[in-house]
Structure 1
Amino acid sequence: MPVTGVAHEVREQVSHITLTRPEALNALTPAMRDRLVDLLTAASADPDVRAVVLTGTGRGFCAGADLRVGGSPAGERITGDVSRTLRLGAQRLIASVLDCEKPVLAAVNGTAAGLGAHLALACDLVLAAESARFIEVFVRRGLVPDGGGAYLLPRLIGPRRAKELMFLGDAVPAAEAERLGLVNRVVPDGDLEKTAREWAARLAAGPTRTLALTKALVNASLDTDRTTAFAAEATAQELNLTTRDAVEGLEAFAERRAAKFRGR
């Protein structure tokens, strides 16, 4: 069902998800968050979707969770309420990005703050407009970073840099984010949509199951030992070689022609 604040369409085997609440810098309501989870889950299961693009409208990519909407009701807070809310809310959203079986590309068009920053950083590839900036805003509110921040950031830029961003809460401009390794590439604002479309087309033309297995290997690699990682790699390659795209890739190599992958 349509949800206010989220637009969606599938074009040329790419699922385009756009946050459309610019008056609030695309801050997420519970309904928007749940819609994103549903769309990412559906993308995983749909063989005709081979890549996902996530972006926003207006000056913001996503300002995080809208604390004015769907907050805790007045009254006594019972121990466990906050943990449950995070587990079923922000953490479930970030997990849906990390677990999506299709490559997810973030096209960060403006401010990405709090959960919005983590939403972008959970994506497999991140393009940022020159006007984009990333803010670990939690410390400004006296809050612990949630939505997977303390898991994602150290893995992207190391614990010392992660602590700097989380302790100080300074805005990180796009160019600095690229230097730190938070984003793949920074492009002029006017080129963001075009570049995202080009990258998505390349992802959608790739061997989809191979990309899914590769994503799973990389995501798991920082949480495991070498023996386990090597075993997972061998199993992934075993599974991959049963796909039609792997057969096509090897045949194309032997025949010295470009491979035509079908996502199967």
Structure 2
Amino acid sequence: MPSIELKIENSIATITFNRPETFNSFNREMALLLQTTLDNCKTNDEVRAIVLIGSGKAFCAGQDLNEVTSPEQNPGFRKILEEHYNPIVERIRAIEKPIIAAVNGVAAGAGANIALACDIVVATEKASFIQAFSKIGLIPDSAGTFFLPRLVGFQKASALMMLGDKVNAKEAEQLGMLYKVFTHDTFEEEVHRLATQLALMPTKALGLTKRLLNESMTNTLEEQLNMESELQIEAAESEDYQEGVNAFIEKRKPVFKGK
């Protein structure tokens, strides 16, 4: 079975981490395949929303330690970061389509931080998040030190990363790490409902919003206002804007095409 599975249906691309026997931990093959799959979703006009989810009981347990402790297979940490995790996070932020992290179980280490890099994070009530790096003498990677402090604040992020506490789904929601928690029984249904809602929305406008949010991390107020002006003009030239206005005037539900 491939370590990454892709299913495209009704404009939704579902990317499944598929190494359940290792709690979907990353090896080199899985990391590179995920990058290729994300690239395919980026260029495929049929795809208007993306879901990342894990098979089995876990979302993703981070790096497969069997790989890094193997004399034959160990790529080395520089290669792991520069060729595996950094490109994955960069792709998640660069794809101008909404990406949902559907955290169906434990999300640890790089797995947790890849989830936090997504646009919308939802979780089953059985999910948990762990900054597990300090447990084995490492530092957080996969942009965890970038996103987590912005989501929960500097003090809380510092404690979670240094102590390696397990955060359950409800606490993660209260801290601002994720959007919503769903019951285990309704999780797949709720994820599909959310992805369907996003796939039917004006994809170009959502993509431009994502670009603005990315730039807001470093822009000054003046730079952000100027960028909003430029991208609002671009959005107003889209077919979806015209459809949205016409639907409002005609008192009907808009039918967006993502153009």
Q: Could you say which TM-score interval applies, normalised by the shorter chain? A: over 0.9
Partner of 1:63: 61
Q: Please tell me whether the aligned partners of residues 43 and 102 of structure 1 are also in contact (alpha carbons under 8 angstroms).
A: no
**How far apart are the structure 2 equivalents of 1:5 and 1:167?**
31
Partner of 2:29: 31
The equivalent position to 1:41 in structure 2, one of 36, 39, 42, is 39
Shift of 1:16: 0.6
SS where residue 185 of structure 2 aligns? helix
**How far apart are the structure 2 equivalents of 1:205 and 1:238?**
22
Counterparts of 1:99-248 in structure 2 under 5 Å?
A: 99-248=94-243
**How far apart are the structure 2 equivalents of 1:241 and 1:226?**
22
Partner of 1:51: 49
Structure 2: gaps spanning 5 or more residues: none
> Is 1:4 paired with 2:37?
no
**Aligned residue type for 1:6:** I
**Normalised by the size of structure 2, how large is the TM-score?**
0.95
Shift of 1:4: 2.3
Cα deviation digits, residues 94-129 of structure 1 (max 9, x gap): 111111111001111100000000111111111101
**Aligned residue type for 2:118:** C
Structure 1: gaps spanning 5 or more residues: none
Runs of 4+ in 1 over 4 A off after TM superposition: 70-74
**Normalised by the size of structure 1, how large is the TM-score?**
0.93
Shift of 1:82: 4.0
Shift of 1:88: 1.9
The 3 A distance-change label for structure 1 pair 70 and 167 is closer
**Aligned residue type for 2:4:** V
The 3 A distance-change label for structure 1 pair 246 and 11 is same
Partner of 2:16: 18
What do you get for the CA RMSD once the two structures are aligned?
1.7
Percent of aligned positions with the same letter in both sequences? 38
How many residue pairs were aligned? Answer: 257
**How far apart are the structure 1 equivalents of 2:20 and 2:183?**
20
